[in-house]
Structure 1
Amino acid sequence: MKRLFAKILLFFLTSGLIISCNAVKRLEADQNLLVKNEIISDGEDVKDPKIYNQLYQEPNSNILGFPLSLHFYNLAQPEIDSILAVKFLNNEKKRKKLVSFLSKKQFDRYLHSRKEFNQWIKKTGEAPVIVNEEDAKKSQNRLKSWYWNNGWFNVETDYEIIPLEDKKKRAKVAYYVKPNQAYFIDSLTTEIASNALDSLYNINKAESKIKPGLQYNTLDFNKERDRLSQLFRNNGVYNFDQEYISFDADTVDTNHKVNTTLIIKNQRNNVGDSIARTPFKIHHISKVNIFTDYSYANRVEAITDSTRHKGYALYGFDAMRYKPEAITDAIFIKPGIIYSDIDRTRTYNRLNSLRVFKYPNIQYTLDPADSTNTDLVTNIFLTPLPKYSLGFDFDLSQSNIQEFGIGFGGSFLIRNIFGGLENLEISGRGSIASSTDAAANSDKDRFFDITEIGSDLKLSLPRIFLPINTEGIIPKYMSPFTNINLGFSAQRNIGLDKQTFSGILNYNWKPSKKLSNSLDLLNIQYVRNLNTENYFNVYRNSFEELNTIAQGSNFEFSDPANRNLKIPDGANRFINYIVSSDTGNTGLDEIDYFNVLDIHERKIRLTENNLIFASSYTYLWNTRESLYDREFSRFRFKIETAGNILSALSNFVQFDVNEQGNEKVFGVSYSQYAKTELDFIKHWDLGKERIFAVRAFGGIAIPYGNSKNIPITKTFFAGGPNDNRAWQAYDLGPGSSGSVLEFNEANFKLAFNGEYRFKLIDEFKGALFVDVGNIWNILDSRTSPDLVFENISDLKELAIGTGFGLRYDFNFFVLRFDVGFKTHDPAQPAGNRWFRDYNFSHAVYNVGINYPF
């Protein structure tokens, strides 16, 4: 392995050395390639990246010091037209030969394609950044402007182009800055012409972004301008604009103090050829008219239906199809209140979230009945979306348990089903797939041996549906919704089939763009497992281990000549023999004895029916506003409990009890546990399409009361394209056990990921990553030391995977290919876990859609 790694490293180093010699081959004799910028302030090197971002020229982008895009650009021919002319057009003999062989049309197309390909190389690559005086002066001026805007009004700047003596045709640029003494805000006075604005300002002046004692910063003045504009427009000043705000800063003979005057002039009005100024006034909403079924086609037709509700006037060109209280509850602009931009924005957001109307049109006009010109009439035009809509989806898939899969589904949406802006969605889904390893007694002649069908019904209500009033806790500006879901699915796989029934009562609300809350007041799941006798045909690893242990025990085989267990009777009989016997009577050592108990427990968990009555709350803080945000953070916290309602009922209702002493409801032992998850993601934009992304995840689920373990559907797994990419999904852990089963899960998980992403060529992106994590069992029925997290020293069992990735950005999604290497494998013997199988033959190759985090 070490030799192979050394060969790979030598190959890349040699290739880089050879290619680097040609990095400047396209430069003229008097040109220099920019390889470095330096900013020196008062004799010290500047490290702040915000200051370096001011420079007009930056060196060519590189990957670990290697300018790949530049070298790709250099592959293009600088004078392609001359080269083609000399090679083909001016060579009469060669030209005639090619024309006779290809035809004139194909020959011309060939030359054109050569030109296009050459142009594509130039466009895809990165032209060399050549040092020149003009660009250096631009950078110098930008630096001077940055320091000035941050309070150093007397800053002095200079630059120097320094050719590198040890590297031909290469140079760096050093920028020298002498900031001198900074200026600080000393006083702030105001000249506000309008009494209404002056009053609003004085009431809220404590929130000013310009404070005496702070160093001058132009951004603070811009923030103050934004604050005042929002303050006025949210407090009735309908026609206010930022252009009326200006600042006058006096720095003459002030000993580096800035005396600032805030100036807000009166409103400007054009009267004929002259300009008149009038004081700004506070505007009130006198009327709110809502047109519930407006369209461009009926804009000139007469109103045929109307009604009033809580001061609102509702109009319809046809018969009113919405409950007035439902419409007005989504409107934040109320008659009798002052004008506010926030109310208009919240009305837009709420109406859009309903999925009943197209983007609304809100217009304000002066009320002609008001002689003071301070009353506004609000007209809200709502254009309904079609009452019914259909949706379809189709996808292909492949995984480690499916050779080939086809998924399909459809949905039928009914808007405003009860007249109160409720939406009912009925959806169905199905899939068929071919497994990678069919069970021994399955139909081998059938290609599609995995099937699943399901259907869901979802009713969405634009309010918190509870018998109590929640307006004081969750105001309507938080866009509250109640969702009622019912679902059913039936799965037929390679041996174990199951049916799932679910019902969810969910509430969600968003206090802000960044924060959202979701509460599952009740989440009921019932999982019914079928064909459980085929368990050991499906989970062959478990059976092979069980069979090997049986051959070394005192178990009496039904066929002594052939000491192999039969499925299912032989395997079940052997398990019962071990479970009911003392350790010394089985002929097994302690390790094999407890391995059988683990296999037995796992079989029970995977074949038993599950009844889960759960409640959960999810808190999500996300600063990402769009898919194109490069720098953001995301934090998710979830807590879930199950079984507590049924446990409380057991004090009043006598439930049946199973052989293990667990209470049963409808013949099924209900699950009782507490589960919590913490998930944090952070992206840093490093510039030039470089991003450093990290993720930290921790989750734990603790059984108690009526349960000794966690339902399989609620446990954690490790590995896979979105987790630790050096292991296949379900192959990692638990602990140091070495993933001896078909898939491995546990009730405690830690995961940490770091990834450096960068641009390669055109839409191709690259990545280097480190994935750390594992799963363990804790405080449940599994006791094997290899599986259990006992104390902090077990963190040495964290698996570490490293690798690299190649991605292609289709703009609307990213196709991802990652290669992961097992760097620290806790399944290996202690002392021999680092770089044990660190090579391409033992690497894991992952294909995924979009980034893993």
Structure 2
Amino acid sequence: MKIKSTDILVFGLLLLFLAACSVKKFIPEDEFLYTGSKLKIDSEESIKDYKGLKSELEGLIRPEPNSKVLGMYFGLWTHYKGSKEKPGFINRFLKKKFGEEPVYFSKVNPGTTEELMVNRLENNGYFYSTASSEVERGDKFASVGYQVEVSRPYLLRDFSIDRDSLEIDKEIKALMEDTPLKKGGRFDLSMLTRERERLDEELKKLGYYNFNANYLIFEADTNVNDQREFDLFLRFRSNTPNSGVIPYVVNNIRIFPNYSVMEEEDKIDTVTIDGKDFIQGVEVFKPRLLEQYVLLEKGERYSPVKSRLTSSRLSSIGNYRFVNLRYEELGDSVTKGNLDASIYLSPLNKRSVRVELQGVSKSNNFAGPALNLIYRNRNLFQGGETMNLTAKFAYENQIAGGQLSGLNSIELGLKADLIFPRVVFFIPIKEKFSYSVPKTKMSLGTEYQNRGGLYRLNTFSANYGYYWNANRFVYHEINPISLNLVNLSRTSPEFEEILDNNPFLRRSFEQQFIAGINYTYNYNKLSDRFRTHGIFIGTTLDLAGNGLNLAKSITGGEPGTFLGLNFAQYSRVDLDLRYYLRLDQNNTIATRLFGGVGLPYGNSESLPFVKQFFSGGPNSIRAFRIRGLGPGTYRPEEVSLGSFFDQAGDIRLEGNIEYRFPLVSVLKGALFVDAGNVWLINENEALPGGKFTSNWWNEMAVGAGFGARVDIEFFVIRFDLATPLRVPYLPDNERWGNTFDVGSKTWRRENLIFNFAIGYPF
């Protein structure tokens, strides 16, 4: 059975037409369906920002009429049909999913709307404006036409601050140099409100602990002349307390590193460092190390910014369950107030053991159960250090592998991480990063992997680096030392044959030692679900072998080897751009552009296998199986284990767009289109057509499909079904097109690709 897109469109339009034609008969005899309103604005002169003013006034018109689809009341029709005495299953479902309560004219109050419009115009400086309305009734339908006469606005002639006797008055005058209130500007009540809030925020930063925006009042005098001008005065309310207009300084700073209501007071000792008192019994956290996280200074003015950052920095150590910063006022003064700061830190349990049973889904389409045993020791050396020991066992099998067989693996691993909540360097660094403190991470790990029937890998890794958040959106990570030692052993005859057929692949597995430096930068504004426009920019730079190559050139010895091992030499960089357009809280259009390139050089002719790019699979081009694309126009003669290893490259370009929408409860749906491919930097005779050329755009694969996601906030299970629209390895004139012969078993087997994964693809 072949289904044409034109048939679907005609059927959908017919359904909507029938729905619209049947709405009128459901409207009660004594009601009119409200169809909306029109707004006409007249003015004595041209209005600056006419569109903005009209949009603001239209936003006051209530209620909103029922929505239309192609000019037809589909949502209203589903409500009426689903509200019948015996609606049936389909009508009940449509009502629940699309139904809208009818908006009748009896709910409309034009007089109230007129008052709101006039009031809003006066708030914007258009005093003495008027508004009127006219109701239009037809056969069971009614609408309203509003007409607004906008007067000439009042403009600011002069602005002054009434007093200047106190220090706060001088502070306000200095802050008003940056005010948006300018002579000749239109009266704007919302701007005055925002200006009071700005002054409140800035004065608190200057130490005015008890200041409140309500202490300030703007007064406007519109009787200064007949030119529609006004004078503006900034004053303090008459009942403003003295404590609200004096700055406060921090007197004493007390820190309790091991705060507990059970702690015995007679065993508590105090250590003072740089004007800060550290109060604890048995030393839990070394004061000289903890002091670096506290930005407050004795004798300085109160600062809400430093207070917030201090709490954030202490929380980021990862050793404390609660961080509580409290201020206490010390009496009252005419010119200056004093505060005592107390910081109460409640530690987490020092040691913990956690067992995790996981369902693992990897980007290479391997999935299976995994068992992790994690031991954690917090505050190891009384400086906030955390040691993690992780033991892992996993069994994985490649799903959606088509004709591939034998692709399963058993993994055993042991890893140790030691994290210092500060910069550890051979030169002492006492940093004062304002937002968060960089952490130093040292890692050692070993892993055994048995790829069933093919080979065994023994891996040793060591890393030393730093990571930190520059602010709530920006993340940095740099690893000056990144070592990986891979020992390929017990290869099967079948795998040896694969390597013999592709010398480049053999060399990529022979690069057993990877030593280099890598850097990661992320700018992430996707996490805020209420943000209309979400942006993510991520990039990773990976350099390997350059230091070893330089050392070998100085010391001599066999080129391209270190301690008798071949080492890889390459540069690799990728860029990940994502943009989310949130139509509302439940509907999102998510897009991604990804580009990556790896350049082997020196003693390397190809990237190490683990560093190569691949395309296809649940987090890539979903209409093609894992490693089922590329490089370029290359196509293996048969789908086999060899093609699994062959179809990778040095360059990857990819673009994705996905519309995400709710279905029912925690089940969400998606429609998506993916495009991309991988290519080689150097020609490989074993992979003809794989090299990147100027004709790369004609070698892009395109796929589309739909998916379902079980989204329970912290956990997402994803199912995607996709089909190819453009196949790059076909002849030029046959690459576009798909018969969509859904009734054919052969077509379904070759063109419907099912993907299962954990989490969203991007």
TM-score relative to the length of structure 2: 0.84
**Following the alignment from structure 1 to structure 2, what is the Cα–Cα distance between the partners of residues 524 and 213?**
66
**Following the alignment from structure 1 to structure 2, what is the Cα–Cα distance between the partners of residues 850 and 143?**
48
| Letter of the 1:642 counterpart | A
Distance change (3 Å), C-alpha of 1:651 and 1:326? same
The answer to whether the 8 A contact 1:496-1:535 is kept is no
Map 1:28-39 onto structure 2 (within 5 A): 28-29=28-29, 31=31
Map 1:541-556 onto structure 2 (within 5 A): none
> Which is further off, 389-398 or 24-33?
24-33
2:197 matches 1:295? no
Distance change (3 Å), C-alpha of 1:732 and 1:257? farther
Distance change (3 Å), C-alpha of 1:193 and 1:371? closer
| Letter of the 2:329 counterpart | L
Distance change (3 Å), C-alpha of 1:255 and 1:177? same
**Following the alignment from structure 2 to structure 1, what is the Cα–Cα distance between the partners of residues 232 and 317?**
47
Residues 630-675 of structure 1 show CA distances to partners (whole Å, capped at 9, x for unaligned) of 5422222332221121122112222424xxxxx1113332122222
Distance change (3 Å), C-alpha of 1:441 and 1:736? closer
**Following the alignment from structure 2 to structure 1, what is the Cα–Cα distance between the partners of residues 220 and 169?**
20
**Following the alignment from structure 1 to structure 2, what is the Cα–Cα distance between the partners of residues 719 and 68?**
39
The answer to whether the 8 A contact 2:704-2:722 is kept is yes
Residue equivalent to 1:803? 705
Residues 483-529 of structure 1 show CA distances to partners (whole Å, capped at 9, x for unaligned) of 11222221112222212221111212223222222212222122222
2:235 matches 1:263? yes
**Following the alignment from structure 2 to structure 1, what is the Cα–Cα distance between the partners of residues 239 and 644?**
75
2:98 matches 1:196? no
2:459 matches 1:486? no
**Following the alignment from structure 1 to structure 2, what is the Cα–Cα distance between the partners of residues 467 and 441?**
51
The answer to whether the 8 A contact 2:530-2:585 is kept is no
| Letter of the 1:291 counterpart | F
Residue equivalent to 2:46? none
Residues 799-853 of structure 1 show CA distances to partners (whole Å, capped at 9, x for unaligned) of 3333334445434444444333323332222133222355653233334444333
The one of 472, 488, 507 equivalent to 1:513 is 472
The answer to whether the 8 A contact 2:438-2:469 is kept is yes
Residues 164-196 of structure 1 show CA distances to partners (whole Å, capped at 9, x for unaligned) of 88xxx6676666566555555554322356622
The one of 272, 282, 301 equivalent to 1:308 is 272
The answer to whether the 8 A contact 1:407-1:430 is kept is yes
Distance change (3 Å), C-alpha of 1:767 and 1:63? farther
**Following the alignment from structure 1 to structure 2, what is the Cα–Cα distance between the partners of residues 830 and 748?**
22
> Which is further off, 418-427 or 726-735?
726-735
Q: CA deviation at 1:199?
A: 2.2
Question: What percentage of residue pairs aligned between the two structures are identical?
Answer: 25
Q: CA deviation at 1:124?
A: 5.7
Q: CA deviation at 1:287?
A: 0.9
Residues 692-736 of structure 1 show CA distances to partners (whole Å, capped at 9, x for unaligned) of 332222222222223222222222222333333322332233223
The one of 92, 96, 105 equivalent to 1:132 is 105
The one of 340, 347, 352 equivalent to 2:310 is 347
Q: CA deviation at 1:223?
A: 3.6
Residue equivalent to 1:109? none
| Letter of the 2:289 counterpart | A
Q: CA deviation at 1:256?
A: 5.1
> Which is further off, 259-268 or 432-441?
432-441
Residues 728-784 of structure 1 show CA distances to partners (whole Å, capped at 9, x for unaligned) of 332233223247622522222222222333444555544333323222223576796
| Letter of the 2:28 counterpart | E
- Unaligned 5+ segments in structure 1 are 84-113, 270-276, 537-566, 576-595, 658-662
> Which is further off, 425-434 or 139-148?
139-148
**Following the alignment from structure 1 to structure 2, what is the Cα–Cα distance between the partners of residues 832 and 71?**
45
The one of 566, 584, 587 equivalent to 1:669 is 566
Residue equivalent to 1:282? 247
**Following the alignment from structure 1 to structure 2, what is the Cα–Cα distance between the partners of residues 397 and 801?**
25
Report the 3-state secondary structure (helix = DSSP H, G, I; strand = E; otherwise coil) of the residue aligned with 2:555.
coil
Residue equivalent to 1:539? none
Q: CA deviation at 1:334?
A: 1.7
Residues 434-465 of structure 1 show CA distances to partners (whole Å, capped at 9, x for unaligned) of 456999999x9xxx952112122111111111
Distance change (3 Å), C-alpha of 1:801 and 1:192? farther
**Following the alignment from structure 1 to structure 2, what is the Cα–Cα distance between the partners of residues 441 and 682?**
35
Report the 3-state secondary structure (helix = DSSP H, G, I; strand = E; otherwise coil) of the residue aligned with 1:382.
strand
Q: CA deviation at 1:416?
A: 0.7
Map 1:365-380 onto structure 2 (within 5 A): 365-367=328-330, 374-380=337-343
The answer to whether the 8 A contact 1:330-1:351 is kept is yes
Distance change (3 Å), C-alpha of 1:758 and 1:484? same
The one of 547, 553, 562 equivalent to 1:645 is 547
Residues 556-611 of structure 1 show CA distances to partners (whole Å, capped at 9, x for unaligned) of xxxxxxxxxxx75xx77xx5xxxxxxxxxxxxxxxxxxxx5xx3322442x42432
| Letter of the 1:531 counterpart | R
| Letter of the 1:459 counterpart | L
Residue equivalent to 2:626? 729
Residue equivalent to 1:621? 523
Q: CA deviation at 1:471?
A: 5.2
**Following the alignment from structure 1 to structure 2, what is the Cα–Cα distance between the partners of residues 164 and 818?**
49
2:222 matches 1:241? no
2:686 matches 1:686? no
Report the 3-state secondary structure (helix = DSSP H, G, I; strand = E; otherwise coil) of the residue aligned with 2:583.
strand
> Which is further off, 134-143 or 676-685?
134-143
**Following the alignment from structure 1 to structure 2, what is the Cα–Cα distance between the partners of residues 76 and 459?**
61
The answer to whether the 8 A contact 1:620-1:636 is kept is yes
Distance change (3 Å), C-alpha of 1:705 and 1:377? same
> Which is further off, 258-267 or 337-346?
258-267
2:609 matches 1:712? yes
**Following the alignment from structure 2 to structure 1, what is the Cα–Cα distance between the partners of residues 341 and 330?**
9
> Which is further off, 761-770 or 708-717?
761-770
Distance change (3 Å), C-alpha of 1:783 and 1:738? closer
**Following the alignment from structure 2 to structure 1, what is the Cα–Cα distance between the partners of residues 616 and 36?**
41
- Unaligned 5+ segments in structure 2 are 44-48, 638-642, 743-747
The answer to whether the 8 A contact 1:738-1:826 is kept is no
**Following the alignment from structure 1 to structure 2, what is the Cα–Cα distance between the partners of residues 350 and 400?**
34
Residue equivalent to 1:769? 672
Q: CA deviation at 1:358?
A: 1.9
The answer to whether the 8 A contact 1:392-1:411 is kept is yes
Residue equivalent to 2:463? 504
2:387 matches 1:415? no
Residue equivalent to 1:843? 752
Report the 3-state secondary structure (helix = DSSP H, G, I; strand = E; otherwise coil) of the residue aligned with 2:313.
helix
| Letter of the 2:322 counterpart | Y
Map 1:735-754 onto structure 2 (within 5 A): 735-738=632-635, 741-742=643-644, 744-754=647-657
The answer to whether the 8 A contact 2:330-2:338 is kept is yes
The one of 489, 503, 528 equivalent to 1:530 is 489
**Following the alignment from structure 1 to structure 2, what is the Cα–Cα distance between the partners of residues 722 and 600?**
29
Distance change (3 Å), C-alpha of 1:399 and 1:504? closer
> Which is further off, 364-373 or 752-761?
364-373
| Letter of the 2:160 counterpart | T
Map 1:447-466 onto structure 2 (within 5 A): 450-466=409-425
| Letter of the 2:444 counterpart | L
The answer to whether the 8 A contact 2:220-2:233 is kept is yes
TM-score relative to the length of structure 1: 0.76
The answer to whether the 8 A contact 1:266-1:278 is kept is no
The answer to whether the 8 A contact 1:124-1:762 is kept is no
Report the 3-state secondary structure (helix = DSSP H, G, I; strand = E; otherwise coil) of the residue aligned with 1:770.
strand
Distance change (3 Å), C-alpha of 1:324 and 1:727? same
2:324 matches 1:361? yes
RMSD: 4.1
2:194 matches 1:231? no
